[in-house]
Amino acid sequence: MGGYAIKDGMYVPLLIAGVSAFTVALVISIYLHPSFNLFSPDQSLSDLGRVGDPLGYIFNLGIITSGLLFIAASIVNLPWARGDTFKRLAVAVFIFALVLYVMIGVFPKGTPYHNFFARSFFLISTIAIVLWLVSEVRKGSRIISAIVLALVVLSYVFFFSYHTVGFAFAELFGGYSITAWLFLFRK
């Protein structure tokens, strides 16, 4: 039990470290790419780590580092979901999604597998969130469920209207919505 208590206390710090790693890499990358436009329908976040960009490694390392920290947080979270089949499935599916997320940084934009990993990450993350929502609704947690569902729906609205809001903005909103869900996961 003592070892579990130490690991249990690591969930939120690992999430904060993961969010920080990505955010710092993102801010530095945007600063170093003054022509990057978050609201352009023609630019994605991955343009900051594109193959051939001598500064692309900053963004890609941010993705890889944050992904590994989120995987560690999710592994720490597995014992907490014990007894709840949907939450355990959500954690397992999300760990798989996070492996795909790390691969986005390993295979930057301009490599053959990048788009596959990027699209798969968002799709598999959505499946994990839906599994979590099923558990929450079964428990009667309607307010938290409604908030998370609204974030997911809004994320997809932005993705499908990227020509209006900007593709990178849609990706950023979707990514931070997933992060918000991670902080709510244990509520």
What pLDDT score does 79 carry? 74
Q: Where are the domains of the chain?
A: 2-184
* Helix, strand, coil tally for the chain in percent (to 5): 80, 0, 20
Buried b (16+ CB within 10 A) or exposed e, 16-47: ebbbebbeebbeebbeebeeeebebbebbbbb
pLDDT of residue 43: 94
Give the pLDDT score at 92. Answer: 92
| Closest residue by Cα to residue 81 from 95, 67, 68 | 95
DSSP letters spanning 37-85: -TT-TT--GGGGG-TT-TTHHHHHHHHHHHHHHHHHHHHHHGGGGTT-H
Q: How many residues does the chain have?
A: 187
3-state secondary structure of 9: coil
Give residue for tokens 């329908």: 41
- Which pLDDT score, from 0 to 100, does residue 124 have? 95
Model-wide pTM > 0.85:
yes
In the structure encoding, which two tokens stand for residue 163, read together? 């020509």
Using alpha carbons only, give the angle 184, 143, 94 rounded to the nearest 5 degrees: 35
- Three-state SS at 12: helix
* Residue 5 pLDDT: 43
The per-residue pLDDT string of the chain (187 residues; one tens digit each, 9 = 90 and over) reads 344 444 558 888 999 999 999 999 999 999 999 999 999 999 999 999 999 999 999 999 999 999 999 999 999 887 777 778 888 899 899 999 999 999 999 999 999 999 999 999 999 999 999 998 888 888 888 787 888 888 888 888 887 887 788 889 989 989 998 888 888 776 5
In the prediction, which pLDDT does 123 show? 92
